[in-house]
Amino acid sequence: MYRLFSFKIAYNGSNFRGFQRQPGLYTVEHAIFDSLEKSSCTDVTPPLWYSYVGRTDRGVHAIGQTLSLLVRDDCDHMRFFERMEESSNSQVLPWAYRWIDSLEFKARYWSLWREYVYVDEIRNYNCQSIGDLTKAVKEIEGRKIHDYAYRGVKRFSEGYYLRRIIAVDAHRVGGKIVWRFRGESFPHNFIRRIIWIARSIHCGEGIIEASKTRHQGTAEPNRLFLVGAKHPITLIPIYEKTELYHVLSTRVFRRESSDLRLVFSFYENDSSPYSPL
């Protein structure tokens, strides 16, 4: 017999060759599936009803990647979590979970939106006015099609670019700029492509206008964090937010924890039901 299980993990993307399992490469899914087998929680790989909130590219980090899958009803989920930390040398940290009665739940399709944070250096920007940068990038909130960020890229189908971006904002903290993107979903590399274009704009210029004339590329992946997603169910945290930051900064991110501190600073006092953490 099987039961549906959902859980959240955080991981340092710098230590993996991406999220999805690939032959001969060590990925986040490799650590998850290997731990499932070693803890005798599933008889098949990949597991049944397996779903995740969003794929992250090589180098991209996650704080609240949510997954769901069917596991054996005698699965010891804490042993599964221990195996995951052991097999990844503590580079994957499970920090919330829930057993779910409905087999209809899938982490990917039940997410109402996903939230990402990008931490950048303000010196990378031609325009260093936060007001102008925010105004420029907010142009994408009202658009339905987002193919403007893919000029020169082999085109996907027209429907691929149809996405709803709910909110974008920017905050300056010392010499850093912290971007937050919330959307129902995002095209491949979308946030990193928007950051690349935003770096080149002149104050008072719009992101759409700039995308037509500037060389396009993708910003560095190790500055991007998948913070989490909003679901109509709540998972049970193993660590509270302040404790979670301490565990992540000392065990998972280690020397890369300065950007993590800025990410958490926006969520530490956020008790809103709309917070992804």
Condensed to tens digits (0 to 9), the pLDDT of residues 10-50 reads 999 988 989 988 888 889 999 999 898 888 898 887 888 99
For residue 255, what is the domain's CATH number?
Answer: 3.30.70.580
Q: Is residue 273 part of a domain?
A: no
Q: Which residues are catalytic?
A: 57
Q: Write down the pLDDT at residue 66.
A: 97
User: How many separate domains does the chain show?
Assistant: 2
Lowest mean pLDDT segment, chosen from 162-176, 202-216, 249-263: 249-263
Domain ranges, residue 45: 2-110+232-265
Rounded to whole angstroms, the Cα distance separating 234 from 270 reads 16
Contact 65, 9 (CB under 8 A): yes
Rounded to whole angstroms, the Cα distance separating 260 from 277 reads 14
Residue 97's pLDDT band, with cuts at 50, 70 and 90, is very high
DSSP 8-state symbol, 43: S
Q: Is residue 272 part of a domain?
A: no
Of 115, 116, 141, nearest in space to 208 by CA: 141
Mark whether 11 and 26 lie in a shared domain: yes
Contact 150, 161 (CB under 8 A): yes
- Report field, pTM of the whole predicted structure over 0.75: yes
Residue 89's pLDDT band, with cuts at 50, 70 and 90, is confident
Q: Write down the pLDDT at residue 272.
A: 67
Mark whether 61 and 150 lie in a shared domain: no
Measured in degrees and rounded to the nearest 5, phi and psi for residue 245 equal -60, -45
Mark whether 28 and 85 lie in a shared domain: yes
Check whether 220 has a pLDDT greater than 80. Answer: yes
Q: Write down the pLDDT at residue 189.
A: 94
Mark whether 94 and 147 lie in a shared domain: no
